[in-house]
Amino acid sequence: ETPTFEAGKYYTLVAVGYARTAGTPRVKLQVYEDAIPDAGSNVAFRVVNLGTGLGSVNVGVTANSTDAIPGTPTFSNVAYLGSSAYVTRPAGNAWFRVQDGTAAEIVTGNGRQAPTGAAGDPLNNLTTIGGSGQAGSVVTAFVFPRSVAGSTAPSVTTPSLVFIVDKHPR
């Protein structure tokens, strides 16, 4: 299938699936249209589930790594290859607490914390770097599966998150 792109829109392209001949789902190009919101004085986040074999995930966002995971997820039931809507929250620390269908937290360690970014310094011609601590930022959290044992991929033994800044504040 050939993707269609429209001028003036933003897109994210990722390769997902298994490259080995025996693996399913087979590797393919997945395209997401990025309808980047204006976060105003907050920060906007969304979750994209690229976790082959993980099923749907729930993601709660907390201010600290030790806070209780919210009973109502911030991002609920994000299916494999699904993308949530953007959700805004005040600028500050943001820990993404990813749970599988059994409510077990499947991403551990410091990789759960969204990057905080850095304030700009116009006097020194430094632009603000977007992140959870910078109002006006828009960030996507991608959920990835563990790597396949025996593959040439780096050894990642648990699911992980990768954060991408979709929009830096001005």
Confidence of residue 1 (pLDDT cuts 50, 70, 90): confident
Judged against a pLDDT cut of 80, whether residue 121 lies above it is answered with: yes
End-to-end CA distance of the chain: 37
Distance CA 120, CA 143 (A): 29
Q: HEC states along 13-50? A: EEEECECCCCCCCECEEEEEEECCCCCCCEEEEEEEEC
Confidence of residue 39 (pLDDT cuts 50, 70, 90): very high
Tokens 């949530």 sit at which residue? Answer: 84
Confidence of residue 125 (pLDDT cuts 50, 70, 90): confident
pLDDT of residue 94: 97
Confidence of residue 47 (pLDDT cuts 50, 70, 90): very high
Query: What is the Cα Rg of the chain in Å?
Result: 17
Q: What is the DSSP letter of 131?
A: S
Distance CA 170, CA 66 (A): 32
pLDDT (mean) for 18-24:
81
pLDDT of residue 147: 82
Q: Over the stretch 140-153, which tens digit does the pLDDT of each residue have?
A: 999 999 887 777 77
pLDDT of residue 110: 86
Distance CA 67, CA 31 (A): 34
Distance CA 17, CA 28 (A): 6
Better-scored residue on pLDDT, 127 or 43: 43
CA distances from 64 to 127, 134, 165 (A): 27, 17, 20
Per DSSP, the three-state class of 124 is helix
